[in-house]
Amino acid sequence: MSTDRAGAAAALAARVRAVEDAAAQPAGLDRLAVAVRGCRACPELAATRTQVVPGVTPRAARIVLVGEAPGAQEDASGLPFVGRSGQLLDVLLAEAGIARERVAVLNTLKCRPPGNRAPSRTETATCRPWSTRQLALLDPAVVVALGLSATRWFLGPTSLAAVRGRVHERDGWRVLPTYHPSAALRFGPAGEPRRLLLADLRDAARLADQGS
């Protein structure tokens, strides 16, 4: 490994340890959200965001939905999935018999990347301890990974086609990979992503009932 790469790896490891230490301190979900909002571990994101989006974490949640990163509307509001994708998600949750207020909603990255670019590996690794700690405190019956980025966050390098449609056990969590609502929007009401996303949400509801 080159000196530059070794230095970058050491710097990333130090950032991750700092976030792990910060995430381990708060006693509950509300205090953890306060700590997340103060995070400045990723300098570019801290400089360009409007606000951090910790997620919505009701204590009674049996299902956790995990997306990639906040968009412009989420960055402005401080809440996840409030744009067009979130509006469709609300509709599909209702069709699946899931009350939104009983679902926790997180993103693998808590800050909006500039220009809505994809999160970098460094950013995702640095932010990971926050979501890991939230999941540990929530202890959900099932986690729904929305889209390929969230799926890979749990399962590593893969394709959605290879893993969608069944539950995967990872780190003590039951993970159900599915399409992101943005894909359902892109392909329209009659598209396969919407149909399969709804089917997977119904499976999540069934799994949550079994686990309660």
Query: Is residue 120 within 8 Å of 95, Cβ to Cβ?
Result: no
Mean pLDDT of 204-212: 85
- Residue-level pLDDT at 212: 53
CATH value at residue 9 = 3.40.470.10
Q: Is the pLDDT of residue 15 over 80?
A: yes
- Please give the pLDDT value at position 11: 86
HSE-up (13 A, CA, CB side) for residue 148:
10
Q: Could you tell me which of 165, 146, 67, 148 has the C-alpha nearest to residue 110?
A: 67
Q: In DSSP terms, which residues pair with 56 in a beta bridge?
A: 105
Q: What is the domain range of residue 144?
A: 3-211
Domain count, the chain: 1
d(CA 23, CA 65): 20
Distance CA 106, CA 194 (A): 20
Residue 4 has pLDDT above 80, yes or no: no
What are the backbone dihedrals phi and psi of residue 191, each rounded to the nearest 5 degrees, phi first? -75, 155
76: pLDDT strictly greater than 70:
yes
pLDDT at 211: 61
pLDDT tens-place string over residues 121-180:
999 999 999 999 999 999 999 999 999 999 999 999 999 999 999 999 999 999 999 999
Closest CA to 119 of 178, 69, 63: 69
Render pLDDT for 150-159 as a digit per residue (tens, 0 to 9). 999 999 999 9
Query: pLDDT tens digits for 18-74?
Result: 999 999 998 899 999 999 999 999 999 999 999 999 999 998 899 999 999 999 999
